[in-house]
Chain A
Amino acid sequence: MNPYDVNKVREDFPILKRKIYGKNLVYLDNAATTQKPQSVIDTVVKYYSESNSNIHRGVHYLSQEATVVFEEARENIQQYVNAKEKKEIIITKGTTDSINLMANSFGKKNVNEGDEVIISALEHHSNLVPWQQLCKEKKATLKIVPVNDQGEFLFDEYVKLLNSKTKLVTVSHVSNALGSINPIKEIIEKAHEFNIPVMIDGAQGISHCSVDVQQLDCDFYAFSGHKFYAPMGVGILYGKEKYLEEMPPYQMGGEMVDQVSFEKTSFNELPFKFEAGTPNVEAVLGLNAALEYIKNIGMENIARHENKLLNYATQELKKIDGIRFIGEAVNRAGVISFLIGDIHPFDAGTIIDHFGIAVRTGHHCAQPILDHFNIPGTVRASFAMYNTIEEIDLLTTTVKQVKTMFE
């Protein structure tokens, strides 16, 4: 195997040449969204330059051409996550949209008064609020699996929560705020002993780990394109056919219907039943291009490189007096969350920004987990395939500078 050539990878990402406040951009906000390689950008431009047309409904050449590439993209996504059937790949707007689909379709049908839905304390608001609101409406109960002070999912506590009232377990693959990797294989196995289906919020998982939905045996897996080097506005909900078939449509309109009269409507088959309206074709094709790009580099190589960055960042930041890591799970991916002494994360972030370094500060849309640590937020650096050791050195130097300014 050739050694991983990060400089060669960087050349594929035009935005990395940008200057911010006159300094080279150091982009460490990849958990919010990743940058896009040229091949993805070219795909979007080419689509509008040469192939733009509405899919699935035209007999004309362009429409058929667009339909073919769109459906090829679905097939490639199916293969990438190793879904059994192409129709198990539902195209959505993003992870949040996928989870809302689940809450409004699976949830409305299967969760009733007195039932329970299990999430973890690590969830992003997107995998919390839809279930909280559903439970409120249905007079059901949302059960929360606690974490320890390292930010690790407490498996024994989880097992205690499973019972005949549990209708769904829905947990993140990787925590966006802390980077903890949850033991999803074991979580799924355990729930299946009780015949409970499991959804995985893969928004942060898909970009750092290889995902094989059949091997995991998860019943649903949701992710976004934009955190995976693809355009914004596209996401996937993978679902096992047996569940998707039973679930009612969530949004009504074009594409998802079979026959319509003023009296009644019959719905289209999977996956179209869940794809109302014109989809974001450009983004789906962009996602396809991103998959190709990632496959060429190899997810294992990417994960190895990111782990090296994560370990190096931890080692270097640790040397700074007063640094506090928030979330120190043994199994972590892509994210390092920290505080510098008592300096407020917004103060730190403001100064770090002026050095051209993009980090995220605040609660990362996961307020409950920060409440667990009794802090208002953290500074979060998150890594992608194009980040370098030199960039981490810059971050470390900047953090030291911040410390001098505020202390």
Chain B
Amino acid sequence: MEVESIRIVEDEIIEEFAHLEGWMDKYNYIIDMGKNVPVIDTKYKTESNLISGCQSKVWLYAEFRDGKVYFSADSEAVITKGLANLLIRIMNNQKPDAIINSDFFFIKKLGLKEHLSPNRSNGLMAMIKQMKLYALVFKTKASQTSGE
């Protein structure tokens, strides 16, 4: 059930992409996404919030409020920021379980892996891994709290 709420956003993005003709439009879309990323608070732009595996620096931070996860990010590179924002759009305001169990079907559907350089694609995977890790930590913490 929870995974479905992610799938709805994924379908939205797939639909938006379907209207874009050619790679330039697709990149323009990602660049626009990059300009609108929920920007991480400067105090969280720390070494420990850097994602390794990206060629340009990417910071990612997450908060857990009322059972849902909220992400913010920043990067030196706009395309990277755009990709981060794509993921954030999908994973924001979701329950940890939904994030943990999602297979991020849109990546395959959009052919993102094939379209990105191997380095960028690895970076994207590293971001997903980090987001899932955040969700897992929040879930564990939440179950410990409710168990007390």
Footprint of B on A, CB under 8 Å? 21, 343-344, 346-347, 350-351, 353-354, 362, 376, 405-406
Output the least CB separation between A358 and chain B (Å).
12
Output the least CB separation between B122 and chain A (Å).
13
CA distance A351 to B27 in the complex (A): 8
Q: List 9 A-B contacts (CB under 8 A).
A: A344-B76, A344-B78, A346-B79, A347-B31, A350-B27, A350-B79, A376-B56, A376-B57, A405-B27
Give per-residue flags for B63-80: 1 if the beta carbon is below 8 A from chain A beta carbons, else 0.
000000000000011111
Additional 14 contacts, C-beta under 8 A, given A347-B31, A405-B28: A343-B78, A346-B56, A346-B77, A346-B80, A346-B120, A347-B78, A347-B79, A350-B27, A362-B55, A376-B56, A376-B76, A405-B24, A405-B31, A406-B78
Contacts of A351 in B (CB 8 A): 27
Output the least CB separation between B13 and chain A (Å).
20
Output the least CB separation between B58 and chain A (Å).
11
Contacts of B31 in A (CB 8 A): 347, 405-406
CA distance A343 to B78 in the complex (A): 8
CA distance A343 to B75 in the complex (A): 12
Contacts of B77 in A (CB 8 A): 344, 346-347
Contacts of B55 in A (CB 8 A): 346, 362
Q: Is B117 an interface residue (CB 8 A)?
A: yes
CA distance A100 to B23 in the complex (A): 44
Output the least CB separation between A400 and chain B (Å).
14
CA distance A376 to B57 in the complex (A): 9
Output the least CB separation between A125 and chain B (Å).
16
Contacts of B120 in A (CB 8 A): 346, 350
Number of residue pairs spanning A and B whose beta carbons lie under 8 angstroms apart: 36
CA distance A354 to B28 in the complex (A): 13
The answer to whether B117 and A350 touch across the interface, beta carbons within 8 angstroms, is yes
CA distance A384 to B24 in the complex (A): 29
Contacts of A347 in B (CB 8 A): 31, 77-80
CA distance A107 to B83 in the complex (A): 47
Contacts of A405 in B (CB 8 A): 24, 27-28, 31
Output the least CB separation between B41 and chain A (Å).
21
Interface residue tally of chain B, by bracket? 10 to 19
CA distance A405 to B79 in the complex (A): 11
Output the least CB separation between A64 and chain B (Å).
45
Contacts of B27 in A (CB 8 A): 350-351, 354, 405
CA distance A347 to B80 in the complex (A): 8
Output the least CB separation between B28 and chain A (Å).
6
Q: Which of A343, A344, A354, A406 contacts B23 (CB 8 A)?
A: A354
CA distance A338 to B137 in the complex (A): 43
* Shortest Cβ distance from B80 into A: residue: A346
CA distance A344 to B79 in the complex (A): 9
CA distance A356 to B78 in the complex (A): 21
CA distance A406 to B56 in the complex (A): 16
Contacts of B57 in A (CB 8 A): 376
Output the least CB separation between A339 and chain B (Å).
12
Output the least CB separation between A91 and chain B (Å).
32
Output the least CB separation between B110 and chain A (Å).
16
Among A21, A347, A350, chain B packs the most CB atoms within 10 A around the CB of A347
Output the least CB separation between A396 and chain B (Å).
18
Output the least CB separation between B51 and chain A (Å).
14
The answer to whether B117 and A344 touch across the interface, beta carbons within 8 angstroms, is no
* Shortest Cβ distance from A354 into B: residue: B23
CA distance A375 to B120 in the complex (A): 20
CA distance A21 to B117 in the complex (A): 13
CA distance A353 to B115 in the complex (A): 12
CA distance A205 to B80 in the complex (A): 35
Contacts of A362 in B (CB 8 A): 55
Contacts of B24 in A (CB 8 A): 354, 405
Output the least CB separation between A122 and chain B (Å).
22
CA distance A350 to B34 in the complex (A): 15
* Shortest Cβ distance from B77 into A: residue: A344
CA distance A405 to B32 in the complex (A): 10
* Shortest Cβ distance from B56 into A: residue: A346
Among B57, B78, B80, chain A packs the most CB atoms within 10 A around the CB of B78
* Shortest Cβ distance from B75 into A: residue: A344
Contacts of A354 in B (CB 8 A): 23-24, 27
Contacts of A344 in B (CB 8 A): 56, 76-78
Interface positions of B from 14 to 53, Cβ below 8 Å from A:
23-24, 27-28, 31
Output the least CB separation between A356 and chain B (Å).
12
Output the least CB separation between B34 and chain A (Å).
9
* Shortest Cβ distance from B76 into A: residue: A344
CA distance A376 to B77 in the complex (A): 10
Output the least CB separation between B24 and chain A (Å).
8
CA distance A374 to B64 in the complex (A): 36
Contacts of A406 in B (CB 8 A): 31, 78
* Shortest Cβ distance from A349 into B: residue: B117
* Shortest Cβ distance from B28 into A: residue: A405
* Shortest Cβ distance from A348 into B: residue: B77
